[in-house]
Amino acid sequence: MNPYYNQLALDGYHSAYFYTQNSEYENNLLEQVLRVLQLSAHHSVCDMGSGTGWFAHRIHQTCDLEQPVICVDSAENMLSGVPSGTAPVCMDMESYVSEAASQTFDRVLIKEAIHHIPTESLEPFFKHICKMLRPDGRMVIVTRPQYVDYPIPERAKTIWADTQLDFQVYVDKLYASGFQSVTVTTHEYPVELESTKWIQMIRNRMWSVFSEKYFTQQELDEWSIPGPNTTFTERLIFICAQQPAAALTGTPFGAALTGTQGCNGDGTCLYQCDCECYDENTGQPLECTCGHREHDIEEGCPSDCCVPIECLNYTECLQKAPQWYLDAHDGRCVNCANDANDATPDGDTGFARGPPMVANRINRIEECYCCLECKPRLELPCNHNICKECWYRLNAYIISVDLVCLRCKEDEITARKIQNSHN
């Protein structure tokens, strides 16, 4: 039983802006989630921390799924009237993944609920899910930044930052749990609504940071914001952890990777390699001549031949890949390799490939000095900040190893103008 969410279900859960059924916001969120989930009708889906099951119902309905979506939630009242296309399971997420180990899914969704898993429990929790996922399966986590700028009490922002982990923690735990591919994307959505509605949502304790554990009802009733309307930007983070595709079946080397970090030593990694290391007709392994890694057909693979290694651009892309893949793509992961290929003279952009990125990720969203849009920013060696998209474009035009910061260039030009005016 979950007292807070049981009460929230009774207090009009779907009256809150973020959970209003069939709203423009919900439709936009559904589109973003489906983009990352990449569902097919035959896929089996589990929604952990599902709430009332309404969002799972929307997924089932939109994708015309053949099986109901399993909705796992610890609040009995949330699941008391689940809609069609869903199958409720009243249990907390940690207990479910440990007790339902025999269950397998193609997709697992954890939307706005991962912060309820204690930090020390994340790795075993993810390991269970890694084993539950079928080959080529994926888990999608939808969460929010650790630091937010919602119009909420300052103390609530502090509590939020203390209880909401930085997304990089989840990325690291996912890799440590056996996932070999983890991607992170962000999405922004402008919000404007009446201040009275927003205030009422907070007084109704729409998020757990407003629960009785942190605020009395009097404190919430006394809090207010000026003006008839309130505006802000909703920022969501999508973390997608994937299982490798299944290898060919019917051969001694036909089992897919089982989620362990690194190769399992039975030759399965051959199927993950870009080179021709196996016979496509028979499925039998051939002598590995690609030079990407050491491999012995008789004795099996070295235990670390598929351990994920940081991409050359890791501080920016947060991706890892097996060493043999990095060696074949100039030290880059699949995303950065594709970006680099797109920036070659033969690509649509006509750009020349730029130097490796040396920008450091900063987990705050601020205005980019280049495009003037509020986005997650990177810090350049000169300590100026720029967004990822502008950094890509900037690097695409640079051929030499001397990085150029546009703001530094502007400052240099301004300084020269001042100097010339004094001469």
Q: Supply the CATH number for residue 15's domain.
A: 3.40.50.150
Terminal CA-to-CA distance of the chain, rounded, Å? Answer: 78
Residue at 303 is within a domain? no
361 beta partners = 378
Residue at 167 is within a domain? yes
Residue at 310 is within a domain? no
10-19, 21-30, 177-186: segment of lowest average pLDDT: 10-19
Q: Vertex 93, ends 246 and 119: CA angle to 5°?
A: 95
Mean pLDDT of 311-329: 68
- Report CA-CA distances (Å) from 277 to 259, 260, 294, 307: 22, 22, 12, 18
Residue at 271 is within a domain? no
Q: Same structural domain for residues 229 and 368?
A: no
Quick: pLDDT tens for 359-394.
454 445 667 767 777 666 666 667 777 776 666 555
User: In terms of pTM, does the model score above 0.85?
Assistant: no
Residue 157 half-sphere exposure, CB side, CA atoms within 13 Å?
Answer: 8
CA–CA gap between residue 202 and residue 40 (Å, rounded): 37
Q: Same structural domain for residues 374 and 227?
A: no
| Domain limits for position 215 | 3-242
Mean pLDDT of the chain: 75
Q: Which of 193, 209, 242 is the last residue of a domain?
A: 242
Quick: pLDDT tens for 200-234.
999 988 888 998 899 999 999 999 999 999 999 99
Q: Same structural domain for residues 359 and 226?
A: no
The dihedral through the CA atoms of 30, 113, 233, 387 has a sign that is negative
Query: Which span out of 63-67, 275-279, 290-294 was modeled with the highest average pLDDT?
Result: 63-67
Q: Same structural domain for residues 27 and 165?
A: yes
Q: Same structural domain for residues 59 and 194?
A: yes
Residue at 143 is within a domain? yes
CA–CA gap between residue 261 and residue 269 (Å, rounded): 12
Quick: pLDDT tens for 130-151.
999 988 899 999 999 999 989 9
Q: Which of 220, 242, 264 is the last residue of a domain?
A: 242
pLDDT grade for 344, boundaries at 50, 70 and 90: very low
Provide the number of structural domains found in the chain. Answer: 2
Q: Same structural domain for residues 230 and 360?
A: no
Residue 284 half-sphere exposure, CB side, CA atoms within 13 Å?
Answer: 4
Q: Which of 192, 227, 242 is the last residue of a domain?
A: 242
Neighbours of 371 (CB within 10 A): 13
Residue with tokens 């989630």: 33
Q: Same structural domain for residues 229 and 83?
A: yes
Residue 110 gets the label, from left (phi > 0), alpha (psi -120 to 50) or beta, of beta
376 beta partners = 365
Residue at 217 is within a domain? yes
Residue at 274 is within a domain? no
pLDDT grade for 263, boundaries at 50, 70 and 90: very low
CA–CA gap between residue 91 and residue 79 (Å, rounded): 10
Residue at 273 is within a domain? no
Residue 401 half-sphere exposure, CB side, CA atoms within 13 Å?
Answer: 0
CA–CA gap between residue 327 and residue 302 (Å, rounded): 17
Residue 84: pLDDT over 70: yes
